[in-house]
Amino acid sequence: MAKREYAFYPGCSSQLRGSAANYLVSVESMCEKLDVKMTQIPDWNCCGASISYAGSSELARHVLSARNFALSDKHLPGQDIVATCAACWLGGRETIEKLDASSQLMADTNEALKEAGLEYKSGTAIRHMVEVLVEDLGYEELGKPVVKPLDGVKVAGYVGCQTNRPFGIAGESFENPMYLDKLIDTVGGESIAKYEEKVSCCGGSLAFCEQEKAEKQIKNIVESAYDHGADVICTPCPLCQANVEVYQSEINRKQGTKLNMPVVYYSQLLSVAYGGTLKEAGLDGHIIQPKKLQEIAVKVVGRR
Amino acid sequence: MADMKTAAYICKGCGIGERVDTAQMAKIATKEGKMHLVREHDFLCSAAGVQVIRDDIEREGATHVLIAACSRRAKTEAFYFPSIALSRANIREGVIWARPDTEEARETTQEMADDYLRMGCGELKKMKLAGGVQDTGHAKRLLVVGGGVSGLTAAAEASKTGYQVVLVEKAAALGGWAAKLHRRMPLREPYAEPQDTGMAELIKAVTGDANIKVITNAVIARTDGAPGRFKVDISVESGPSLTEEVGAIIQATGFSTYDIAKLPELGGGKSPNVIDQAELERLAKQAAGKGQAIVRPSDGGEVKTVVFVQCAGQRDSTGKHLAYCSGFCCGASIKQAMYFKDANPAVDTVVIYDDLRVPGNGEDFYRSAQNKGVTFTKGRIASVEAKGDACEVKFRDLILDEDATIAAADLVVLATGQVPNSGVNIDIPAEEAAKMEVKPVSILNLSYRQGKDMPQLAHGFTDSHFICFPYETRRTGIYSAGPVRRPMDMVQATEDATGATLKAIQAMENAELGRAAHPRSGDLSYPIVQLDGCTQCKRCTVECPFGAIDEDEKTYPVFNESRCRRCGTCMGACPVRVISFENYSCDTVGAQIKAVDVPDEFSEKPRILVLACENDAYPAIDMAGMQRNCYSAFVRVIPVRCLGSVNTIWITDALSAGFDGIMMLGCKHGDDYQCHFVKGSELASVRMSKIDDTLKQLALETERVISHDVAITDMARVPQLINDYAAKINEIGMSPLKGFA
Amino acid sequence: MGDLNTQMLDKYRNNFLHEVEEKVDDGHWVKMCMQCGVCAGSCTFGPDWEHTPQKIFMMIRAGKREEVLSSHSMWLCTSCYNCMVRCPRELPITHIMHGLASYAHRLGLAPKNQPTRDFSLIFWDNCTKTGRVNELRMTISVYFREGIVSGIKKMWTLRNVGRGLFFAKRLNPLELFVSHGCKDKDGLRRALKKADEIEARRRGYAVQPRGYSS
Amino acid sequence: MTDVVATNQTILVVGGGISGMTAAIEAAECGKQVVLVEKSPTLGGRTALLYRYFPKLCHPTCGLEINLRRIKSSRNIRVLTLAEVSAISGKRGDYSATIKIAPRYVNEHCTACGACADAVAAEVPNPFNYGLSKMKAAYLPHVMAYPQRYVLDASLIGTPEADKAKASCKYGAIDLAMQPETIEVRAGAVIWATGWQPYDAAKIQPYGYDRFANVITSLEFERLADPHGPTGGKILRPSDGKEAKNVAFIQCAGSRDENHLRHCSRICCMASLKQTQYVKEAWGAGAKSTVYYIDIRAIDRFEDFYQKVQNDPTVSFLKSKVAKVTQDKSGDVVLHGVDTEGYHRYANAHDMAVLAIGMQPSVAGVDIPAEIIADSSGFIESSAAESGFFGAGCATNALDVNRAVQSSTAAALRAIQVINQVARAEA
C-alpha cells in the first residue's frame, strides 16, 4: 500500500517512444522512490492542447478533458488526477473552471459525453506533478531519499509558461516562481537565482509552424543559461524540453552558434539524486547529453 | 493702563548655562533692561520653573514677562500666561545652537545672547496685553447666496448645527443645475448605476426648515459690514427689498454652462442634434416623464447612434476656450451613455475622449458602462457636421492612429465645462472692465473699498490659493463653496459646502470673541489707528490684502477688525506710523533695533539686522539652529508677522543705529506665492525697491539692504545666505553711520 | 458586405462588436478593454504582430471586420498567457485570440496557408482520429502541408533532429503504421460530433464537415 | 498616568495626519473640545514626508508649521501620540474609546536638547525615510516633529545603551520603566482620519520592486528629493549611488487594476508630474523624465500644471501601461511595452524607475467598528444612519491634500452637529 495514490494522466507526448518518453520513465522511478502510486486513467484521450483551437471549438475541447475526468471518476474514484504535461494540466484546469462557472457549458458537455456513455460530475481535481511534489510531499520529504546529491551541478530552472500562467503553483509569482530552484537545491544542485529567461516562452507548439520565431526565443533561453554558467537546463514541461533541446542544432546550423546545452526534467534530477540509473532517470533519452548528470547516475555510491 | 511690572527669566538649561554667562545677562537685564524682577533658573520649562513665573505674576504682580530660553516655537504650552504680555528671547536655537562651541566663538556668542536679552527687554516695555476687539458684531445668522446643491447643503448643514440661515436664490425655484439632472452619478458601492439626484428631498428639507429663511427671485443689492455684523440688502423681484443682519456669508453661486455656440467646429449651434450635457439631461428627464426613449431633436426620429465628445471647449491651450478641465464631464458622459444603454442596449454609444478622468471609484462606474456596451475611443475630434438629420463626426483615432469618421450620429453630446458665476473680477481696472462686451454683474455688491466681489484666483474661480487651507479666501467671513470656486461634481460640491459652512460658523464665533481667523487663529491683538496723525494717504486701505479697511467720506481709514487677519500690512504701509497692534508695533520692533549694542567701526564686528517672516523664514532659522547649522554671530534676528508689516522706519532706524546690513527674509511671491497673507511679501518687495533712494541719500551702498525669498525648508540655505552676506558686508566695509546715533 | 457605404456606416457602430460577442469564445470581454496596452508589451511574438491584442479590440469596436478576421496576428499566439495574467481588466486575452482565430477560420476569412492555422487543423484532425496524438504523422503532415517538394526539403534539413530523437527512443517510425489511441475512439468521436452540433446550435452557424463527423 | 479630561461633548479624532489635524483644529477653533489620537510619535502624517506639493511646488511643512502653531495656541486640543484606539463602545453622543498608549520612554520633562541622541550609538532604520536610511535609536522623528520630544526606540530597552541615554539626560526626562497604558476616553462623536498606506509594490511582480534596487516607489522618491532625506536631497539611485538623471515614472502601479487595487488613486498622475520637476530641479537641462501612463488625470485647475509639464522639454509622455521591467548589467532598469498611440514597441533603459504607487486606506485589513460602512477598497464610504462616526480625508477616498482638507473640515462640522445636539439636550 503506497503512501499516496493518484490517477495518472501522462498525455500523448509521454507515451512509449513519444517525444517525452523519458519524462515518463523518470517520473515513474521518482515516484517509486517517493512511495507515490500513479495509476493511469484507463483509455484516456488527448487533452486537445492549446493549439487545436482552429479546428475545434471551446466546447469540443472541454469534452475531451471531461471525458478523461469522467473515466477517472469511474475507475479511480476519489483520486486526484495528476498530469505531467503542462498543457494537459492547464487544459484540464480551464475545463474545470469554465464548467463550474457555467451550468450551460456543463450541460452541453454532458450532452456530448452521453454519446460516449459517460457523465462528468464536477468536483474533479487535476494537479501537476510538481504540485504533488511541493504541496503534498514538501521539500523536506523530497530531500530525504537523496543518496547522490547533485554536487557542483549548476542548473538553470526554466519554468516556462503553462505550469506558471495563468494558474501557476500556489504561492508562486508569475514573474519569478521559485519552486524549480528550490527543487534543484533540495537535491543538492546549484540553482541560478537570477535566470532572466526563467519564465519566457519557448514558442510552444508554434515551434512547428513558426520555427524561426521560436528559435529566437530558444536562443535567448539557452544563451542566458550559458551566461550564468549553467551545466544544464531543467524544466517541468515536455514541450519546453523538446523545443529547447531539439532546436539548438538548427540554431547552430543557421547562425553558426555552438549551442549544446542539455535540457532535462526536474523528475530526472530527482531520480538521479535518488540513485536512479541512467535508464531509470531517462538520461538515455537526450539528443544533447546531460553529461554531468549521467556521470552522477553511473557513479556507484557506498551503502549508507 | 495699570502700571507695568516687568520680569525677566533666564534659563540655564539645555547647555545655555555652560555656553554663556547668564549672570552677566541677568546684570544686563537689571541695569540696561531695567527689569523690575530678574531670575535665573536651571530648568525653566519644568513645573517648578513655570511655577516661579506664575508666582511672580500672582504675588509680585508681574504684568510683562521676558523669557530668555528656547525659541518662541518651543515649550509654548509650558510658557502659557494669558494674563500678561510675554516676550521670548531665543537663546537656545537662536544663539548657542547656532554657534560653534569653541573658545574663539565664546565672546561673540555671549554678545549675541546679551543682545537678544536687550532686545527682549526693549520689546517687552513697548508691549501691551492684547485684549481682543470690543463690541464687534454678534450676529450668528448665516447668509447663503445660491440655492443649488451647494447652497442648499450649506443651509441644511448650518441649520443642523443650530444656526439660522438666510438663503437667497436668483431664480424662482431652488435646486440649480442639480435639480435639472435626470439622474446623478452613483455615490455608493457598487458604483455601477446612475441614481436619483435626491434633490427633491433636499429642497423639501430646506423649505420646511424653520431655521432657514428662503428668498427666491432675489439678488444681493448691497453687502455692508464685517463678520458678525454684515448688513445685507436683498432686492426681490416684484416685491419689497429687505435687509438682513448676518454674521457670515457663503457664496454658492455655482456655474453656467459654456456656450456651445462658441464651438461651431463641433457643430455647436449648427444642428439641433448637437447638444450639451445639460440639454441631454433635460431631454432625458422629459423622455422619462413621458415614459419614452430619448428622440432626435431635429425630427423626433429614433436615436440609434450617440457620440459623446469629451473636453469640448475645455483643456484648450490656444486661449480660445476654457483652459481647465471641469473634472465631472467624463463621469457625466458615462452616466448619460447609460441612459441610452439601459433603455435600449441596441443603441450605439461612443465616447470619444483624450484622457478619461474618473478618479477613485469612478473607475467602477467606467467598468459598468463598458459592461453595458458603451464603447470608448481615444481620439481627438476634428469636426462635427450636420448632414440632414444625421451628424458626421470626423476625428483622429489615436489608438488606430488614423483619421476616422462616424458617418451618421443621431445625437452628438458635447461635454462642455463649467464657467463659474463669480461676479465682477475686481482685479480688472474699471476702465478695462468698461470695455468688456459682456459686463459681469456683481453678486455680493460688497461696499468694500477694494471691490464688489470676492477676488478671483484663476479662470474666474474664487478658489483659495492654499493647498493646506482650501477655504482661506481673501475676504474674512465670506466663503465660496461649490463650482464657483473650483470645477466640481455633486459629491464634491456637497462635501465642499459642508466644509465651508463650518468655516462660516467659525468666523461668526471668532468675530464675537474678537479673535483672529487663520493663520493667526486666536490672536486677540488688532490694528489701532491714531487718526489725528493720519494723512489720508490711503496706502493702508489700498494695500490691505483682505479688504479689511474702508474709507470714510474724508478718506480716513475705517478699520473693520473682524475682517482683519492681523498681518500688519497696514502698519508696514503707514508712512506716518499711526497704525499699531498692542503687542506688535513700530515701537516694539524699533525698541529691539535700538537695544542692540552696536560696536564701533574699528571693532571689526559688524551688525546685521535680519527681519524674518514668522511663518517660514523664522522657523527655518530656528530649525537651522536645531540642526546645529551655525551662522555668523553678527546677525540679530527679529521675527515679523509678515514682511508686509515691515515699516521702512525700521530700516532707517537700523541704519542710523549703525547696523552695517539688513536682510529681509520672507515668503515667495508671484504666481505660486507662498505668503500666508497673500500679498505681504509682494508689497514688501515693492516698498524695498524704493529703499535704494533712501540709501543713496544716506550715501550708503545699496547692498546694505537686501531681501531673499525663503522657504521653511531652507534650514541649510539660510545660514549660507547669512554667512555670504556677512562676507559681503566685510567686503564693502563697516557702515559710515556708526557712532552718529 | 463589401458595399463600401454600408461599411462606412458600420464604422464605430457596434455591429461587429456584437457579432464578436455572440460568435466568438469569450468575445463578450472585448468591450471591457481600456486600451492600456500591457498585453501588447507582454506578448511573446509581439514584435512580429501587425496588430496587438489591445489594437485588435479597438479595431473590433471600430467595426473593422475584414481587417480583424483576415489578420495574421491572432495566429501568432503561443498561449504563453502573459497578457492574460497582466491584464488589469482580467480579460482572458489568450482565449479571445484563439476564439477570434477559430471564428476567422470558420468564416473562411483567415489568411490562406496561415501556418499556425494549418498546424492547428492538422493537430486536431490527428488527435481526434484515434483519440491520441500521433507525433510522427502529425510532424510529417505539417512538413508536407505545402506539398511534397518543400516537405522533403524540410525533412532533409531536420534529418539530424529526427535521427537524434530516434536514437533517444523518442521517435517511433512504426507510428507511421500503428498509432496509439483510445479503445473507445468511436464513442469519443460521437461525443465530439455532438459537441459540434451543440456549438452550432448555440452560436447559430452551420456545422462544418469534419474528419470525425463522416 | 495620562490624564485626559473628556466628556460626551468631546470630539475624538483618530489620526494625526493633515486630515486629522485639520478636523481637530477646525473643530477646536469653533470652541469644541478635541482629543487627537496619533499612533506614531509625531503629528504630521504622510504629508510631512513629502518634499513638495503639486501644483504649487510649495513645501508641506509650511502648512504644517501653521497648523502646529494653531494647535499649540489652542487650549481645546489634547494630543495623544503613540496612541491607538483599540476598542470603542457606546452610541452617537456617548462613546467610550479604549486607547492604548505605547511607551515613549521619554516624559514631558524632555526639552529636546538632544543629549540622549548624542549619548546613544545604536541605530535603527528610519521609518520617516521609509527605511532608506538609519537614525539614532534615541531620536526626534523629524525636525518639525510635534510634540517636540525625543523617543527611545523599544529595541534599546534593557540594553546598556538605554542606560547611557538615561544617564545623559539632566532633566529626568528618560523613564526606562515606562509601561504601555490603556485609557478610556469619552466622546460624543468620532472622526476617523486614519489616512492611507501605499500599496505593497512587491505584489506588482512584473515591475520587480522586490528584485531590482533601482525600482522605487513614488513615496521613496519624495525622500530622495528631500534635503532631509537619505541622500540629502540628491537624486541618486539606490543600487550604486549613480546620479539618476534619466527617470521613468510608471503610472497606475497597483491602481486601476483588478489584480491589485480596483480604484484609481487620483493623486498619482499629479504626483508624477510634480516629480518630473524634481528631476529637472536637480539636473536642469540634463534631466530626462518619461511618464508611462494610461490616462493623465490632471483634474480641474491641475490641468494648468499638466500643460506646463507637457511644455517642459525634459519631460516626455508615453501612453502605455508598462508590461515589465528588467535590469541590465549596468544596473539600468529597462522598461518593456508598447506605446498604444499608433503602435510603437519600446525597450527603454532608465537610470531609475519610480512606481506611482496606489493608495489604499490604512484600515485595509484592520477591524473597523461595525457602524462604519466601507467600500470594496476598504475606504470609509459612510456611517450607519444615527452614527456619530465620520470619515475624514484619505480614510474615505483617494484624495489629494486639498480635497482631504475639505473632507476633514466637513467631517468636523458633522461631529460638531452631534456635540451641539448633546449640549442642547443637556442644557
Rounded Cα gap, residues D6 and D4, in angstroms: 6
Type of residue found at C159: R
Beta strands in B440-508 (DSSP E): 478-480
CATH 3.50.50.60 fits B142-254+421-513, yes or no: yes
Q: Specify the pLDDT at position C150.
A: 86
Type of residue found at B241: S
Is beta strand B375-387 parallel, antiparallel or unpaired with respect to B348-353?
parallel
Specify the DSSP class assigned to residue D299.
Answer: -
Type of residue found at B206: V
User: Is the separation of the CB atoms in B484 and B254 below 8 Å?
Assistant: yes
User: Is the separation of the CB atoms in D204 and D342 below 8 Å?
Assistant: no
**pLDDT tens digit string along B82-100?**
999 999 999 999 999 999 9
B362 chain-D contacts, CB cut-off 8 A: 264
CATH 3.40.50 fits B1-129, yes or no: yes
Question: Chain D residue closest to B379 (CA)?
Answer: D341
Asked if the Cβ–Cβ distance from C14 to B377 is below 8 Å, we say: no
Select the CATH number that applies to the domain covering C4-106 from these four: 2.60.120.1600, 1.10.1060.10, 3.40.30.10, 1.10.3720.10: 1.10.1060.10
Q: Is the pLDDT confidence value at B133 over 80?
A: no
CA distance D220 to chain A (A): 23
Domain assignment present for residue D137? The answer is: yes
Asked if the Cβ–Cβ distance from B377 to C17 is below 8 Å, we say: no
Q: Specify the pLDDT at position B692.
A: 87
Domain shared by D302 and D155, yes or no: no
Domain shared by D355 and D366, yes or no: no
Domain assignment present for residue D148? The answer is: yes
Domain assignment present for residue D109? The answer is: no
Domain shared by D388 and D406, yes or no: yes
Rounded alpha-carbon distances, angstroms, from residue D362 to B361, B516, D45, D196, D395: 17, 35, 12, 4, 7
Q: C37: which 3 cell numbers? A: 496596452
Q: Specify the pLDDT at position C162.
A: 85
Within 10 angstroms of residue B553's Cβ, the number of other Cβ atoms is 5
**pLDDT tens digit string along B548-592?**
999 999 999 999 999 999 999 999 999 999 999 999 999 999 999
Using pLDDT thresholds of 50, 70 and 90, give the confidence band for residue D376: confident
User: Is the separation of the CB atoms in D8 and D92 below 8 Å?
Assistant: no
- From D359, D380, D411, the end of a domain falls on D359
Range(s) of the domain holding residue D230: 199-359
Q: Is the pLDDT confidence value at C211 over 70?
A: no
- Considering only B17-31, B587-601, C5-19, which range has the smallest mean pLDDT? C5-19
Rounded Cα gap, residues D258 and A183, in angstroms: 32
Residue identified by cell 494674563 is B83
User: Is the separation of the CB atoms in D189 and D388 below 8 Å?
Assistant: yes
Select the CATH number that applies to the domain covering B257-416 from these four: 3.50.50.60, 3.40.50.880, 3.30.559.30, 3.20.20.150: 3.50.50.60
Task: Please spell the DSSP secondary structure of B232-279, one letter per residue.
Answer: EEEEETTS--EEEEESEEEE---EEE--GGG-GGGTTTT-TTEEEHHH
Using pLDDT thresholds of 50, 70 and 90, give the confidence band for residue C155: confident
**Which residues are CB-contacts of B238 (< 8 A; sequence separation ≥ 6)?**
B217
Mean pLDDT, residues C124-131 taken together: 93
**From-to residues of CATH 3.50.50.60 in chain B:** 142-254+421-513, 257-416
Domain shared by D227 and D285, yes or no: yes
Asked if the Cβ–Cβ distance from A175 to D208 is below 8 Å, we say: yes
Domain assignment present for residue D280? The answer is: yes
pLDDT tens, per residue, chain A with 304 residues: 678 999 999 999 988 888 999 999 999 999 999 999 999 999 999 999 999 999 888 999 999 999 999 999 999 999 999 999 999 999 999 999 999 999 999 999 999 999 999 999 989 999 999 999 999 999 999 999 999 999 999 999 999 999 999 999 999 999 999 999 999 999 999 999 999 999 999 999 999 999 999 999 999 999 999 999 999 999 999 999 999 999 999 999 999 999 999 999 999 999 999 999 999 999 999 999 999 999 999 998 754 4
Q: Is the pLDDT confidence value at C213 over 50?
A: no
Taking the CA atoms of B440, B445, B450 and B453 in sequence, report the sign of the dihedral they define: negative
Helix/strand/coil (H/E/C) assignment for every residue in B96-130 = HHHCCCCHHHHHHHHHHHHHHHHHHHHHHHHCCCC
Q: Is D323 on the interface with A (CB under 8 A)?
A: no
Domain shared by D294 and D402, yes or no: no
Rounded Cα gap, residues C40 and D318, in angstroms: 14
Among candidates C36, C39, C52 on the partner chain, residue whose Cβ is nearest the Cβ of D294: C36
Domain shared by D324 and D353, yes or no: yes
D302 chain-B contacts, CB cut-off 8 A: 325
Question: What are the domain boundaries of chain C?
Answer: 4-106, 115-176
Q: Specify the pLDDT at position B609.
A: 98
Asked if the Cβ–Cβ distance from D205 to A175 is below 8 Å, we say: yes
Indicate the average pLDDT of chain C: 89
Q: Specify the pLDDT at position C163.
A: 86
Domain shared by D223 and D243, yes or no: yes
Domain total in chain D: 3
Q: Specify the pLDDT at position B1.
A: 46
Rounded alpha-carbon distances, angstroms, from residue B280 to B339, B370, B609, B657, D4: 10, 20, 65, 73, 57
**Which residues are CB-contacts of A273 (< 8 A; sequence separation ≥ 6)?**
A145, A146, A147, A148, A149, A150, A187, A188, A189, A296
pTM, 2 dp: 0.96
Domain shared by D51 and D187, yes or no: yes
Q: Specify the pLDDT at position C214.
A: 34
Q: All domains of chain A, ordered by start, with CATH?
A: 4-129 (1.20.1050.140), 147-298 (3.40.50.11810)
**Interface predicted TM-score (ipTM) of this complex, two decimals:** 0.95
Rounded Cα gap, residues D230 and D222, in angstroms: 10
Q: D424: which 3 cell numbers? A: 442642547
Question: Chain A residue closest to D202 (CA)?
Answer: A173
Asked if the Cβ–Cβ distance from A206 to C45 is below 8 Å, we say: yes
Within 10 angstroms of residue C28's Cβ, the number of other Cβ atoms is 16
Residue identified by cell 452541453 is A108
Domain shared by D94 and D44, yes or no: yes
Rounded alpha-carbon distances, angstroms, from residue D237 to B370, D241, D287: 41, 5, 14
- From D331, D359, D387, the end of a domain falls on D359
**From-to residues of CATH 3.40.50 in chain B:** 1-129
Q: Specify the pLDDT at position C8.
A: 62
Task: Please spell the DSSP secondary structure of B53-87, one letter per residue.
Answer: HHHHHHTS---EEEEEES-TTSSTTTT--TTSEEE
B373 chain-C contacts, CB cut-off 8 A: 14, 17, 31
Q: Which residues of B310-342 are buried (b: 16+ CB within 10 A; e: fewer)?
A: bbbbbbbeeeebbbbbbbbbbbbbbbbbbbbbe
Rounded Cα gap, residues D201 and D222, in angstroms: 16
Domain shared by D147 and D205, yes or no: no
Asked if the Cβ–Cβ distance from B715 to D143 is below 8 Å, we say: yes
**Cβ under 8 Å to C: A residues 152-211:** 161-162, 165-166, 174, 200-201, 203-206, 208-210
Asked if the Cβ–Cβ distance from D72 to B77 is below 8 Å, we say: yes
Q: Specify the pLDDT at position D373.
A: 85
Q: Is the pLDDT confidence value at C5 over 70?
A: no
